C-alpha cells in the first residue's frame, strides 16, 4: 500500500473508533434494564457462533459495554463472558471485573458468590476468578478465596491455592491444611518451561503452606532486627 492509502486507512480507523464511542455512549446512557436484556441475549448468541473470531469480537465489545453498567446483572453477565470458550472474551471480561472490583468490590464479591452457586463444575470461569481477585486490595478477597478452596471444581481449587500462596495470609492456612491429603489431580503450567504437568491438589496445598510459613518467618526476622 502507498503512503496515501495507509493514511486513508488510518483515517478510516479513527472514524471507526469515533463511531464505536458514539454507539457505546448510546448504550450506556440508555435504561440499564433494557440494555442488559439485549446484552444478555447478544452474549448467548455470541457464545453459540461457530466463527471464533466473530464470537471473540462480539464478546470483547460486550464486556466493554458491561464495564460501564452498575448492578448485579452486569456482573453476572461479565462472569457469563468469563465462562465462554473465547480466550479474548475471557480476558476482556476479567479485566472489566477487576477494574470494577477496585471501585465497587461489594458488587463484584456478591457476583462471585452467586457464580460459585450457579456455575457448573468445569466452567472456564471458576479457575479464572481467583486470579482476577488476587490483586484487589480488599479484606473480603480472603473470604472469597476460602470459598474457592472448598469448591468441588479441582481447577478452581488449584487456582485458589496458587492465589493463597501469593497472598500468604495466615488465615488461609487451616483451609489449605484441610486439602493436604486431597488426591484430585490437575494440570498446572510450569513457569520455566511453559509445559503443563499433572499434580495433586494435596501437593499444591502443601507447597502453599510451605510458602506461607517461609513468608511468615521472613516477617518475624525483619521485626526482630
Residues 50 and 93 in one domain: yes
Looking at residue 139, what is its pLDDT? 93
58, 164: one domain: no
pLDDT value at residue 114: 98
**Distance between CA 136 and CA 191 in Å, rounded?**
23
How high is the pLDDT of residue 24?
87
Q: Which structural domain, as residue segments, surrounds residue 192? A: 139-225
Residue with cell string 480472603:
142
Strand partners of residue 164: none
**Its pTM surpasses 0.85:** yes
CATH code of the domain containing 154: 1.25.10
Alpha-carbon separation of residue 190 from 131, 168, 206, 224 (angstroms): 17, 21, 17, 36
Q: What is the helix (H) or strand (E) element at residue 123, kind and residue range? A: none
Would you write out the chain's pLDDT as a tens digit for each of its 225 residues?
787 889 999 999 999 999 999 998 999 889 989 999 999 999 999 999 999 999 999 999 999 999 999 999 999 999 999 999 999 999 999 999 999 999 999 999 999 999 999 999 999 999 999 999 999 999 999 999 999 999 999 999 999 999 999 999 999 999 999 999 999 999 887 665 567 789 999 999 999 999 998 876 555 555 554
Domain boundary among 109, 134, 159: 134
In a domain, 10, yes or no: no
Using an 8 Å Cβ cutoff, are 39 and 81 in contact?
A: no
Q: Which residue's entry shows cell 500500500?
A: 1
Same domain flag for 179 and 120:
no
**197 and 118 in one domain?**
no
Q: What is the pLDDT of residue 216?
A: 65
The Cα–Cα gap between 197 and 202 comes to: 15
Amino acid at each position: 500500500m502507498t503512503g496515501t492509502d495507509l493514511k486513508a486507512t488510518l483515517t478510516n480507523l479513527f472514524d471507526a473508533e469515533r463511531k464505536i464511542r458514539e454507539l457505546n455512549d448510546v448504550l450506556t446512557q440508555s435504561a440499564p434494564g433494557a440494555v442488559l436484556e439485549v446484552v444478555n441475549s447478544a452474549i448467548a448468541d455470541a457464545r453459540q457462533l461457530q466463527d471464533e473470531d466473530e464470537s471473540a469480537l462480539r464478546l470483547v465489545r460486550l464486556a466493554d459495554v458491561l464495564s460501564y453498567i452498575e448492578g448485579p446483572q452486569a456482573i453476572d453477565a461479565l462472569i457469563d463472558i468469563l465462562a465462554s470458550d473465547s480466550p479474548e472474551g475471557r480476558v476482556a471480561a476479567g479485566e472489566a471485573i477487576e477494574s470494577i472490583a477496585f471501585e465497587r468490590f461489594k458488587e463484584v464479591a456478591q457476583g462471585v458468590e452467586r457464580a460459585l452457586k450457579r456455575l457448573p463444575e468445569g466452567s472456564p470461569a471458576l479457575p479464572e476468578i481467583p486470579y482476577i481477585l488476587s490483586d484487589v486490595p480488599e479484606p473480603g478477597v480472603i473470604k472469597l478465596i476460602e470459598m474457592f478452596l472448598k469448591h468441588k471444581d479441582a481447577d478452581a481449587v488449584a487456582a485458589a491455592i496458587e492465589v493463597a500462596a501469593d497472598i500468604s495470609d495466615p488465615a488461609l492456612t487451616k483451609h489449605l491444611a484441610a486439602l493436604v491429603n486431597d488426591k484430585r489431580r490437575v494440570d498446572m503450567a510450569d513457569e520455566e518451561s511453559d509445559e503443563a504437568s499433572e499434580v495433586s491438589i494435596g501437593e499444591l496445598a502443601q507447597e502453599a503452606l510451605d510458602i506461607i510459613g517461609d513468608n511468615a518467618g521472613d516477617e518475624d526476622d525483619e521485626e526482630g532486627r
